[in-house]
Structure 1
Amino acid sequence: MGWGLPAIATVVLSLPVAGTSSLPDTFHAPWDSLLQQYVWAGRLDVVGIAQDPRFEHYLESLAQARPETASREAQMAFWLNAYNACGVALLVRRPGLRYLSLEALDSLARADTFCIAGEEHTLVTLRLRLQRFGEPLLHFGAGGITRGFPPLSRRAFTAAALRRQLVATARAFLRSARGCLLDAETNTLWLSPLLAWYRADFERDGKSLLHTVAQYAEPAVAAFIAARRRDLQVRFLNFDGETIARYAPSPARPIKPLLQSKSRSRGS
C-alpha cells in the first residue's frame, strides 16, 4: 500500500523570497521541545499542542526551508520530522478524532494537501519522498497518528544522531506486541501490517523480511527465527485505527535541550 499517514487539511502559507537553505540540527529544536512537552507514552496532548504557537511557527519554517543542498542525513531528518509534524497537524485540525478506518486513513492521506519546502504535498507524497532515500528504517521513524503504526517519537530526528535514532525506533517497535508477536506453540510470527505494506523496502538488497525482523527484534525472537526459519509461519496483525490523541493535559516533566552528538553516526 503506497500511502503514509493521512495528510492534514490544506495549509496556506506565505513563503519568503528566499527559503532557509541551511539545515543545522537546531532547526528542529522547536519541534523537539514540542514533542517532549506534548507526547507521552505514545499519546499526543492534542489540545495542548494546538494552543502552542510554536507548533504553527514550526510548520511555517518547514514550508520555508530548502533542504536540497543539505547533507543526506540532514535531508532525511528534515523530511521525517516534516512527515511527523503533518500527522500531528491532522489531529490538531480535526479535534475529537478518535478512530480512523484504514479506508478513511487512506482517503485523508491522498486528499489533503499542505506546504513543505515550498511545494504542495500530501502525506502520500511525503512517504514517497522518504522512500527515495532507500533507507527502510525510516518507516519506523515515521510515527503514526493511529496505534497501528510505530509510535510518535518524543525527540526530533537530527542529522548527527539519525542512525542511532532509527535503530532505536526499529528496536522499540519490533520488541513491542504491536510490532512483532511470536506464538511459539503454533510456530507463527505475527507482524505489524506496516511490514506487509512496505515489504519491498524491507527486503531491499536481497534481504528477507525475517532477516530485517530478526535484526531488531528481541534476542529470543531472533533466535527462534534462526532455528525455525524454514517452517515459520508469518502472519500480519489487524490494523488498529485508534488515534494517539489524548484530551487531558500531559504530566509536567523537564524539557531536555536538543544536543548535537560530537561525531556523526555511521551509516548501515
Structure 2
Amino acid sequence: MTKPVFLITRLLVLLMIWSGYSSCSAIRRTTNSQPITHESWDQLVKKHVKADGFVDYKGFIRDSVALNRYLDQLSAVHPDDKSWTRNQQMAYWINAYNAFTIKLIVKHYPVESIKDIKKGVAFVNSVWDIKWIKIQEYTYDLNNIEHNILRPVFKDARVHAAINCASYSCPRLRNEAYTPEKLENQLEDAMKQFLADPLRNKITTEKAEISEIFKWFKGDFDRDAGSLIAYLNKFSEQKISDKTELKYLNYNWQLNDIP
C-alpha cells in the first residue's frame, strides 16, 4: 500500500471512530423493554466483594457462569427512557458499569492494572474506549456509560462514588446491587463512605487530601452544591472552610484485588 493511500485509509478509519463517539452524546433510547431485577448481581457481589471494597477476582472467575448469566440479562434488556423510571434506569447503568468492569478484569486476569488491558488494541485511547459491551442492538464502551449516560442524563455527582474502575483509589465497590427502591439511600451512603475512607480521602480542618476524582469532575460537584467545598461539607463528617488547604492524592491504578 502506498503512503498516500495508507494515510487516507487511516484517516477514514479515525473519522468512523470519531463519528461513532460523537453520536453517543447523552444517549437516550426508546426500546419498549421491561426493567429487570438485579438479584443475581446482588448475590455475586455479596459473595466476592469484601466489606472494605476489595474484590475476590478469583472467586468471580469460579462463578463465571453466574456472572455471564447476569451480563446476558443486561445485554438482553436496554433501558427505555420513556417507560422506565429514573431510578430504574440509573440503577441499571450503575450495575452494568460495575458488572462489565468485573468481566473485563476476569477476562484478562491476572493483570496489575485495568489500564494494562488496552495494550495491543488499536485505535483506542484507553481501556474505557474499547467498544465491547452489547446491549440489545447497541454497542457501548465504559466511557459511553459513564460520560454519555450516567453523568449527563442523570446529573448526580454521587454516581462518582457508585461506579468502580477496578483500581485501588476508586471508591469501594458496593457489596450489594443498586436497586431502584434503595437507590437514593445507596447513593447517599456511597458518597459518605467514600469521603470517610482514609485510603481515598483524608480530611481535617487544616488540610483536605482528597481523591483526584474531585479534580477531574469538579464541574459535577460544583453543579450539585455550588462549590467543591460545599459538596465536601455536605457529605463529610469533618467540615472545612475556604481557608482549608486542598490537596489531591495521586491516583493509584493498581488492581483492587484482595490483599
User: How does the TM-score come out when normalised to structure 1?
Assistant: 0.75
* 1:20–1:65 contact (8 Å) kept in structure 2: no
Higher helix proportion (structure 1 or 2): 2
Q: 1:211 to 1:103 in 2, by over 3 A?
A: farther
Bigger CA drift: 116-125 or 68-77? 116-125
Higher relative contact order, structure no. (Cα contacts within 8 Å, ≥ 6 residues apart): 1
Report the CA distance between 1:114 and its aligned residue: 1.5
Equivalenced residue count is 218
* Structure 2: stretches of 5+ with no match in the other structure: 1-30, 120-124
Quote the Cα distance in structure 2 between the aligned partners of 1:246 and 1:180.
20
1:130 to 125, 150, 153: 150
1:45 to 48, 56, 72: 56
Q: 1:153 to 1:122 in 2, by over 3 A?
A: same
Quote the Cα distance in structure 2 between the aligned partners of 1:21 and 1:75.
11
Structure 1 segment 138-217 matched on structure 2, within 5 A? 138-182=159-203, 184=205, 187-205=206-224, 207-217=226-236
* 1:65–1:118 contact (8 Å) kept in structure 2: no
C-alpha offsets along residues 15-54 of structure 1, whole Å, 9 cap, x if unaligned?
xxxx882215xx1000000000111132222122123211
1:97 aligns with 2:117: no
Amino acid at match of 2:62: Q
Amino acid at match of 1:54: A
Quote the Cα distance in structure 1 between the aligned partners of 2:182 and 2:136.
22
1:87 to 98, 101, 115: 101
Amino acid at match of 1:159: P
C-alpha offsets along residues 164-201 of structure 1, whole Å, 9 cap, x if unaligned?
000111111100123321355xx321110111111111
Quote the Cα distance in structure 2 between the aligned partners of 1:198 and 1:181.
18
Q: Which has the larger radius of gyration?
A: 2
Q: 1:205 to 1:31 in 2, by over 3 A?
A: closer
Quote the Cα distance in structure 1 between the aligned partners of 2:116 and 2:203.
24
C-alpha offsets along residues 50-86 of structure 1, whole Å, 9 cap, x if unaligned?
2321100111111111311210000000000000001
SS for the counterpart of 1:146 is coil
* 2:195–2:235 contact (8 Å) kept in structure 1: yes
1:36 to 41, 46, 51: 46
Amino acid at match of 1:211: A
Quote the Cα distance in structure 1 between the aligned partners of 2:232 and 2:71.
34
Bigger CA drift: 174-183 or 119-128? 174-183
* Structure 1: stretches of 5+ with no match in the other structure: 1-18, 248-268
Quote the Cα distance in structure 1 between the aligned partners of 2:54 and 2:94.
19
Identical pairs, percent: 24
Quote the Cα distance in structure 2 between the aligned partners of 1:149 and 1:117.
29
Cα root mean square deviation, aligned: 2.3
Quote the Cα distance in structure 2 between the aligned partners of 1:20 and 1:108.
31
Amino acid at match of 2:38: H
Aligned structure 1 segments of 4 or more residues deviating by more than 4 angstroms:
100-106
Quote the Cα distance in structure 2 between the aligned partners of 1:86 and 1:192.
24
SS for the counterpart of 1:91 is helix
